[in-house]
Amino acid sequence: MKKMQGLINPTKFPFYYGYLILVFGTIGILASIPGQTIGISTFTDPLKDALGLNRNQISLAYMLGTLASSLILTKAGKLYDRLGAMHTASYAIALLMGTLILCSFSIQISNGVSQIIHSKSWAIPFSLMIVLFFLLRFSGQGVLTMVSRNMVMKWFDRLRGRINAISSISVSFGFSISPLLIDQLIQGYTWQGAWQIIAGLLLIILAFVVLFYKDNPEKYDLHIDGKVPKTVSSQEKTKAEVNFTLSEALQTRSFWMYSLILSFQAFFITGFTFHVVSVFSNDGYTRDEGIAIFLPITIISTIVSIVGNFISDWIKLKILLFSMISGAFLASLGLFLLENDFGYYLLIIGFGICSGLFAVLMAIVWPRLYGRQHLGAISGKAMSMLVMASAIGPYLYSNVYQITGSYGSVSIIAFIYLTFLAIGSLKANVPLKH
């Protein structure tokens, strides 16, 4: 019996509906920008000044809000498995829209609470921003990104790597220009107006989600990749249909090794980006030289992502895993030796490799190793680890610097972590379900 098709019937299109899923899933990931670090950071300075918070206080609020969001992302993934892509993404966008509106009225909310309790303590705006950062990170970086990426991966198998390459390039470009576009909105309409305009734009994205987001192609009597599969042996068929539950996935070495290297990238790059000006000035570079590093990193990352996605359809994922670990070692060594040009270039190459392979592994690992049936719960658990790591990164960087007087000391921690990860990954093979 066919399920309800909604307003849009995937079977009525003259081409495979998965290609529309690619387009609108990518748009959904881009719509998460207001909840991503790159989308929030542009508002940081005007927001903290307006609320009377210093940089340490707004950073701590951001960390606590992000950590809190990471604790419930696994449950959000399970909700996605039950409700499907359209409903879960719709709720996430609605929550993101509402949070942006609340952010635009944060001064009024903070002042109102101050009047009610007759206090002008900094703890009031600080507590408010913890809640708002929690909502932004949970709905944007967490749920909307997870659902949109997983939805695209569910519609492709043999073409998964190539499809992810197209999506990754589009997302990389969109993320790279978003700070400039957001800054123009802030300059033209104030930071409050900018958040309200972005909330209005998300209403259009919500309409796209309701109309075009669809779950597995099998629900609409379509074949994955858009092609009727050839006759296969019973052994191959059984292998293709294996699905792991979250609890089963957590018992495999591969889940932890892939999750831990992805979490390292989130920790290392977020901490580095958050303190980038201070990192470079501490080693004798100018502010412009520090910020300029992101252009070559983006170029290398894009090339690595394209190549990695395409070859992922044919090679073992373990090769990409060790390639990413190697890139992480190079980036860590580059940070340690940043006081000379050799370290500077190592940092660029290492970050470029890591960032490019992060885009590959984050999308294709979970459906390939653990199937599509419980994809939300499994990827949600991995995402919760990643978000938690991104929250800890900036705080650990600042504390290491305060204690040792050098950001390069972070590399020592990284070397120990990556050595453990490399040894553990030697047996991170394709899991077998018993």
Q: How many CB atoms lie within 10 A of CB 87?
A: 17
- Is the model more confident about 172 or about 198? 198
pLDDT range class, residue 50, cuts 50, 70, 90 = very high
Q: What is the pLDDT of residue 260?
A: 96
Q: What is the pLDDT of residue 214?
A: 94
Arithmetic mean of pLDDT, 46-67 = 88
**Average pLDDT along the chain:** 89
Residues 6 or more apart in contact with residue 85 via CB below 8 angstroms: 147, 148, 150, 151, 213, 214, 215
pLDDT range class, residue 276, cuts 50, 70, 90 = confident
Q: How many CA atoms lie within 13 A of 211 on its CB side?
A: 9
For the CA atoms of 26, 29, 33, 35, what is the dihedral angle to 10 degrees?
Answer: 170
Tokens of 426: 């030697």
- Tell me: pLDDT of 236 over 70: no
Arithmetic mean of pLDDT, 119-130 = 94
Whole-number Å distance between alpha carbons of 119 and 245: 50
Q: How many CB atoms lie within 10 A of CB 44?
A: 17
Q: What is the pLDDT of residue 4?
A: 43
Please report, rounded to a whole number, the percentage of residues in the chain having pLDDT higher than 70.
95
Q: How many CA atoms lie within 13 A of 203 on its CB side?
A: 7
Q: What is the pLDDT of residue 398?
A: 81
pLDDT digits over 126-165, tens only? 999 999 999 999 999 889 999 999 999 999 988 888 898 8
pLDDT range class, residue 279, cuts 50, 70, 90 = confident
- Give the global pTM: 0.83
Whole-number Å distance between alpha carbons of 186 and 341: 36
Helices 375-404/341-370 angle, 10° precision? 160
- Tell me: pLDDT of 356 over 80: yes
Whole-number Å distance between alpha carbons of 276 and 282: 10
